[in-house]
């Protein structure tokens, strides 16, 4: 019997994970609500991309749980993980298109890999997905022939090819001009609503992020510094959240790298100004 639907499609429960001996996420608990667009933001090095890797089963928690639709993916074998990933789509930071495949074949790849659909049906699905991102007539082009903004849109078309329940976007706005950025942002919002998706994206483009998100999670130093609505994050008086949302250059995230005082470093006494 399938698990009972929960308000959250993805949930971390007291999850700890790192690389070799370095802890990246420490005792993290968070929820990704169904049907919403969640923004995963925060200072660089806070564990945002690692969080996406754990959601996709590319990495396994050291301790705690990563639940997808109520099921812990930690103990799953490769076949079970493969089945879960079929319910997910992913846009990688730089598109990650296959350079030797046409636009059409890039979008068709997950359909050929995960289904036994006939070529005629695959063609129709690919053209529908490309049409959804405004690139139906670019299907015969090669990745080397498209712009960075188009590559991101092709990546989005591939991410939704299997009609997933969850779509993850890693830095979908990086390297884009203002027009391409707005197109990508609108697509994330519109596809989420029209297809009934659950979306999560990592971004440092704060203005655009807060315009399209329903739910916000701020990670800092491997911990959840904030989780709530856009209105709540804007109103937060937490020093780190306030610094980040208001783009202040100094605060809990310091401008100066930790060091001894200037007096100690230079061996001098600095007199206060008169």
Domain boundaries, position 141: 100-163
pLDDT of residue 2: 45
Q: Tell me if 25 is assigned to some domain.
A: yes
Q: In the chain, which residue ranges form alpha helices assigned H by DSSP? A: 48-55, 78-85, 103-114, 119-132, 148-159, 178-195, 206-212, 230-235, 239-245, 262-266
Question: Would you say 172 and 139 are in contact if contact means Cβ atoms under 8 Å apart?
Answer: no
pLDDT of residue 166: 95
Residues 68 and 104 in one domain: no
Q: What is the CATH number of the domain that holds 243?
A: 3.40.50.300
Residues 124 and 254 in one domain: no
Residues 196 and 245 in one domain: yes
Q: State how far the Cα of 77 lies from the Cα of 80, in Å rounded to an integer.
A: 5
Q: Tell me if 92 is assigned to some domain.
A: no
Q: If you average pLDDT over residues 69-73, what whole number do you get?
A: 91
Q: Where residue 221 falls among pLDDT bands split at 50, 70, 90?
A: confident
Residues 174 and 261 in one domain: yes
| Domain final residue pick, 163, 182, 211 | 163
Look at strands 37-41 and 198-202 and give their pairing: parallel
Q: Which residue has the higher pLDDT, 267 or 137?
A: 137
pLDDT of residue 241: 86
Q: Tell me if 60 is assigned to some domain.
A: yes
Q: State how far the Cα of 28 lies from the Cα of 88, in Å rounded to an integer.
A: 22
Kindly compute the dihedral angle of the four CA atoms of residues 175, 176, 178, 184, in this order, to the nearest 10 degrees. Answer: -130
Residues 157 and 199 in one domain: no
pLDDT of residue 272: 64
Residue 100: CB partners within 8 Å, gap ≥ 6? none
H or E element, residue 77: none
Residues 168 and 218 in one domain: yes
Question: Lowest-pLDDT range, 76-80, 133-137, 244-248, 256-260?
Answer: 256-260
pLDDT of residue 40: 94
Residues 134 and 186 in one domain: no
pLDDT of residue 274: 62
Q: State how far the Cα of 257 lies from the Cα of 239, in Å rounded to an integer.
A: 18
**Residue 179 pLDDT exceeds 80:** yes
Question: Would you say 195 and 163 are in contact if contact means Cβ atoms under 8 Å apart?
Answer: yes
pLDDT of residue 120: 94
Residues 170 and 38 in one domain: yes
Q: State how far the Cα of 89 lies from the Cα of 273, in Å rounded to an integer.
A: 59
Q: How far is CA 30 from CA 10, 59, 61, 212, in A?
A: 8, 17, 14, 20
pTM: 0.85
How many domains is the chain built from?
2
**Residue 262 pLDDT exceeds 80:** no
Q: Is residue 166 helix, strand or coil?
A: strand
pLDDT of residue 125: 95
Q: DSSP class of residue 82?
A: H
**Residue 222 pLDDT exceeds 50:** yes
Question: Lowest-pLDDT range, 39-48, 134-143, 205-214, 243-252?
Answer: 243-252
């Amino acid at each position: 019997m399938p698990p009972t639907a929960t308000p959250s499609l993805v949930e971390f429960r007291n999850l700890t994970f790192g690389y070799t001996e370095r802890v990246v996420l420490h005792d993290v608990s968070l929820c990704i609500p169904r049907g919403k667009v969640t923004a995963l933001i925060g200072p660089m090095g806070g564990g945002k991309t690692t969080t996406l890797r754990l959601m996709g089963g590319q990495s396994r928690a050291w301790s705690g749980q990563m639940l997808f639709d109520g099921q812990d993916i930690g103990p799953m074998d490769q076949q079970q993980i493969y089945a879960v990933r079929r319910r997910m789509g992913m846009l990688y930071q730089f598109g990650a298109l296959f350079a030797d495949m046409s636009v059409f074949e890039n979008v068709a790849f997950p359909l050929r890999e995960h289904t036994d659909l006939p070529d005629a049906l695959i063609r129709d699905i690919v053209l529908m997905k490309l049409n959804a991102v405004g690139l139906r007539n670019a299907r015969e082009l090669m990745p080397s022939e498209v712009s960075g903004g188009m590559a991101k849109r092709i990546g989005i078309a591939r991410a939704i090819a299997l009609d997933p329940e969850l779509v993850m976007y890693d830095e979908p706005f990086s390297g884009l001009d203002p027009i391409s950025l707005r197109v990508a942002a609108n697509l994330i919002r519109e596809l989420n609503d029209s297809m009934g998706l659950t979306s999560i994206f990592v971004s440092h483009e704060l203005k655009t992020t807060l315009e399209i998100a329903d739910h916000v999670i701020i990670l800092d130093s491997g911990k959840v510094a904030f989780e709530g609505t856009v209105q709540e994050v804007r109103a937060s008086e937490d020093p780190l959240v306030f610094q980040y949302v208001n783009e202040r250059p100094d605060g809990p995230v310091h401008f100066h790298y930790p060091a001894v005082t200037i007096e100690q470093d230079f061996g001098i006494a600095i007199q206060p100004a008169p």
